[in-house]
Amino acid sequence: MVNKIIQENVIGTYSNKDTLKYYEKVGLWISEKILFKKYFKKRNVKFLDMGCGGGRTTIPLVKMGFNVFAFDITPAMVKLTKKNLEKSGLKAKVEIGDAINIRYNSNSFDYILFSFNGIEAIPGRNNRLKTLQEIYRVLKPKGIFIFTTNTQKYFKGRRKLFFLKEALKYYFSKLFRLNNKYSRINDFEYGDCFLNFKPAMFMHFSKPERVKKDLEKIGFNLIFSEFRDIIEKRKTPNLRKDYFYVCEKK
Ligand SMILES: C[S@@+](CC[C@H](N)C(=O)[O-])C[C@H]1O[C@@H](n2cnc3c(N)ncnc32)[C@H](O)[C@@H]1O
């Protein structure tokens, strides 16, 4: 269901010229290289690259020898992935799709990736939960799913107040029945916010402990989890934002 907030504050933001320019760049993070080597060992198997953006991960995955299916909710991003594939002379099945309702049959994929906090771009706690359930459904038993979330811990000191301010804006908008982007969030969760993009970008910042409980309830076996900077053995403060989860379908 593409509602107004998804249309404007997800697809709208990711279709922005500057954002598209940023996502032209292809290549895996150091942490992704380390984890993919360890957990995506089989080759020639079906791989689903969700929220593929401009194909940053899609292209390396095809090069690694997977049979890649990629999708994104933002048409301009799908176009960019196709352009990047064509430039590299590579092939993958790329289309417009919604992570909340994955259009593939149950038990279809050996491996699934939802990289660079893509799940956090989905407005509504129930939608994010539905996404995880959908991933569980389309993953084969013993299949591996890797994803990252933002973390609230990244915001330290006075910046911590940011989430509180965003929560107050939400409750104020609901209370006074304002018609704005905050009141359009159906099931607000602390950590939901709008980032300073044009148009404003919806984003959630998770608490990893809560995500782990959600994964467990859905049935995933969490086999590894860690902050990106720790995996990469780098002290870059920005990397503290991203938190990796490696999950197996029981
Ligand atoms: C932070 S970008 C990451 C892009 C790419 N995975 C990367 O690592 O460069 C998140 C992507 O998720 C996509 N996205 C957001 N909500 C989605 C949804 N419900 N279904 C599919 N893709 C979605 C956005 O359009 C965007 O391209």
Closest approach atom of ligand 1 to CA 131:
19
Q: HSE of 249 in the Cβ direction (CA atoms, 13 Å)?
A: 21
Q: Is 152 helix (H, G, I), strand (E, B) or coil?
A: helix
C-beta of residue 58 within 8 angstroms of C-beta of residue 49:
yes
**CB under 8 Å, gap of 24 or more: what pairs does 175-179 form?**
none
Report how far ligand 1's centroid is from the alpha carbon of 122 (Å): 9
Supply the residue whose CA is at minimum distance from atom 14 of ligand 1: 51
Supply the residue whose CA is at minimum distance from atom 17 of ligand 1: 73
Number of separate domains in the chain: 1
Q: What letter does residue 98 receive in the DSSP assignment?
A: B
Could you tell me the residue range of the domain that residue 137 belongs to?
A: 4-155+206-249
Structural domain contains residue 193: no
Structural domain contains residue 46: yes
Structural domain contains residue 149: yes
Helices vs strands, H then E, count in the chain: 10, 9
Closest approach atom of ligand 1 to CA 6:
16
Looking up residue 103, the CATH number of its domain turns out to be 3.40.50.150
Structural domain contains residue 241: yes
Specify burial of residue 90 (Cβ count, 10 A radius: 0-12, 13-18, 19+): middle
- Extract the tokens encoding 240: 């503290």
- The reported pLDDT for the residue numbered 238 is 79
pLDDT along the chain (250 residues), means of 10: 87 96 96 98 98 98 98 98 97 98 98 98 96 98 98 82 95 96 93 94 96 98 96 85 96
Q: HSE of 103 in the Cβ direction (CA atoms, 13 Å)?
A: 11
- Extract the tokens encoding 128: 């994010």
Closest approach atom of ligand 1 to CA 23:
9
d(CA 237, CA 228): 10
Cβ < 6 Å from ligand 1: which residues?
10, 14, 23, 50-53, 56-57, 72-74, 77, 98-100, 115-118, 121-122
Structural domain contains residue 181: no
